[in-house]
Amino acid sequence: MSPYHANLSNDGYIYTKKDGLVSGLHTYGVIKPESHIRQADDGNVWEAIVVGAGYAGLVAARDLVKAGKKTLLIEARDRVGGRTWSAEVNGTTFEMGGTWVSHVHGRLFGEMQRYGLQDEVSMTRTQNGGCDYFTLDTGSGSRKFTHKEAGEMTAKAWNIFIDIDGSKCRDICPLPHSALGNSRVSFNEIQAIDKLSCRDRIDQIKDQLTPDELALLESLVPHCGGGSVENIGFLEMVRAQALQNYDIATFEEVWTLYKIREGQSTLARRIFDDAARLGLQWTFKTPIKSIIEKDGIVSVVTTNDKILRAKRVVNTIPIAVLPDIHFDPPLSPLRQEALKINQVDYLTKIHAEVEGDLRGLRGCTWPGDFLYIYGDGFCAGGKSTRITSFAGDNRGILDPLKEPEKLEIALKRFHPMEIKKVVFHDWVSDPYAKAGAAWYPAGFLTKYLPELQKRHGNVLMANADWARGWKGFIEGAMEQGALAADTVLNEVGLYGANPIPNLYSSVL
């Protein structure tokens, strides 16, 4: 039983045939009061301002106030979580963005342990649930396979596709948190891999695959990266392979199996509440338009022209939204070049509540408006099933806001189903996201990723979109927030319980 009350957010949508498209979903992530600032507006300078209350911002803000730093959290939305949040609809939790957790995500699992959630998990799929098979529709008719058969076909296709070095990427990417060059692999070797798109790599190996195996591979790549095989760089897949321990057999348990039972917004709220208890101040529904640094002080200017000043700013705005923010001094030419190219993940994630027991259902359609579908446990009451589905870049093909009725048609292609409601967050139309978690085109990582990770004067850039390890994951967001907070603390001043007087002056 959650200790939180689900309040109505401006985010999210429900579609039913009876009521049409209705905006706004209830979530534990809504913060009330929306503003809590004790510091008088008299020109005082904060020690730190954190822009954005996703996981990067929450971890950074919590770590800063825990160390005694006067910190302000600014968030454009009415809730915490950013691109990761859970909605509560008639007693059922729907994960609207980032969802799954795993023991291989060390920072994330550590946060779950800290707040007593390490055992509060559920599984996306149910063994021996209704419709316990895999449907595959490649345009020539729909067929059913056992999950074992579908898994074997997918594993064969993936292993041929990913084996660029003859060792399932162990040689080319032995240290995935230092993937752009390290003591074992040179930058030039990595750069050669980064020149390939996923389409380039598929063209190299497609004669080794059956039509079904090729269809599974062509759909799996955009399922992971939210784009297409044409525009996702192959190095992105190499890093994913390394991070999941070089084995497609671990894909499900790392990427799509375990969830926090009461939703990601429960963990986000616990981090926020911890920070609030420690003295965090905040303002929600506060979009910003400018970040200006002068004489070492950073001014954050809101869209209603309020100016907030700090010694350091931790900026967690996603890469797709960064071009909307004015920086003075300007961002480096290389970073501006990266922002013009930007990322390729324009995924569509759709949930549905359907009549009956479809908990065992999984499937793939290629080509199709949706690529993958998962039975995702019973809804509250145990008489209907929660369905989760994914597509790659559907811009210009399926717009969930303009044509929500087509969502039902796309879902029914996998399996006959009586749909009670469709629940989703349209990340592409969201002005504070504009896309999913970042995946990049060929050639991008080796040229731009180090630049994106750099600070901009006294502005620390912290977002999962350019994480060193699990880029685009909750784990990567927490990595970025923690690293940024450590940098701020080292520069603004961190004193232990028993500091040695004049330690640094005596050493120097």
What residues form the annotated binding site for FAD? 75-76
Q: Distance from first CA to last CA of the chain, Å, rounded?
A: 56
Give the closest residue to 150 by CA, choosing from 252, 227, 254, 222: 252
Element (H, E) at 146: none
According to DSSP, the residues that pair with 300 across neighbouring strands are 291, 308
Q: Are 109 and 101 in contact (CB under 8 A)?
A: yes
The structure tokens listed for 9 are: 């957010």
According to DSSP, the residues that pair with 353 across neighbouring strands are 386, 421
Residues belonging to the binding site for substrate are 390
According to DSSP, the residues that pair with 257 across neighbouring strands are none
Residues belonging to the binding site are 75-76, 390
Alpha helices in 375-473 (DSSP H): 405-412, 444-453
Name residues whose C-beta falls within 8 Å of residue 438's C-beta, 6 or more positions apart in sequence.
Answer: 318, 319, 320, 343, 345, 464, 465, 466, 471, 472
Name residues whose C-beta falls within 8 Å of residue 25's C-beta, 6 or more positions apart in sequence.
Answer: 8, 9, 11, 12, 13, 14, 87, 88, 89, 94, 96, 423
The structure tokens listed for 205 are: 């190996």
Q: Are 241 and 206 in contact (CB under 8 A)?
A: no
For 24, list phi and psi in degrees, rounded to 5. 95, 125
For 158, list phi and psi in degrees, rounded to 5. -65, -45
Alpha helices in 301-443 (DSSP H): 333-341, 405-412
Give the closest residue to 290 by CA, choosing from 325, 248, 244, 241: 325
The structure tokens listed for 403 are: 């044509």
CA distance 25 to 207: 47
Q: What string of DSSP letters covers 56-81?
A: HHHHHHHHHHHTT--EEEE-SSSBSB
Q: Are 369 and 410 in contact (CB under 8 A)?
A: yes
Give the closest residue to 150 by CA, choosing from 377, 354, 366: 366
For 385, list phi and psi in degrees, rounded to 5. -115, 140
